[in-house]
Amino acid sequence: SKFVHILGVPFVNTNQKDFINTLQNHIARQERTFVVTANPEIVMHSLEDSQYKQTLAKAQYITADGIGIVKAAAIVGEPLPERVSGYDLMLDLLESAHNNHSSIFFLGAAEEVLQQTVAKAKREYPGIKIAGSHNGFFDWHDHLLPQKIKNAAPDIVFVALGFPRQEQWIGAHIEEFDKGIFIGIGGSFDVFSG
């Protein structure tokens, strides 16, 4: 089937390559898409926090971020082909954005890490358009940031605020945007820039 449920969380039954294709199609059709890359910690948290579970329910796709989820799927008899991690998706989305000249907004991490991430992304994927960037330490009640992203209308928004903040932020604002892939990718900027 299209989804594999683990402790009530519906994981998309796909591999990395097919999933990138799926996201490319959403970008081409300018569809707003919320992607969660979920590890066992996220699944456990969804059991304890009903608001977080409701946030996850807003996502179009929840991918298996980590071998723990892939193993759990095998145990419940509905195997998932492979892990589809936030970091790997970030790299493949950068590659596909480079080829298609898609625009990207980088949101999250400390200012220095963010600047290094944007600089390296420009250098290694020169075909991408930088729609903008903002560090991950901002006032959640400030409406200027979501407005800035809405106005920039990026094809992809990398949200690297860490779990569970990134899902909460996307869940709180997703309906304000007209289009874009919004994907929570944890500490990926730190890894990419380091």
By the criterion CB under 6 A, which residues form the site for ligand UDP?
Answer: 108-110, 136-137, 160-163, 165, 186-187, 189-190
> 27 or 106, CB closer to ligand UDP?
106
> 110 or 130, CB closer to ligand UDP?
110
Q: How far is the CB of 30 from ligand UDP (least distance, A)?
A: 27
Q: How far is the CB of 31 from ligand UDP (least distance, A)?
A: 26
Q: Where are the beta strands (DSSP E) in 20-176?
A: 32-38, 61-64, 103-108, 129-134, 156-160
Q: Which of 23, 33, 189, 175 is nearest to 107 (CA)?
A: 189
b/e per residue, 90-101, with b = 16+ CB within 10 A? bbbbbebbbeee
d(CA 11, CA 175): 22
> 105 or 163, CB closer to ligand UDP?
163
Which residue has the CB atom at the shortest distance from ligand UDP? 136
Q: How far is the CB of 140 from ligand UDP (least distance, A)?
A: 9
d(CA 88, CA 158): 12
Q: How far is the CB of 144 from ligand UDP (least distance, A)?
A: 17
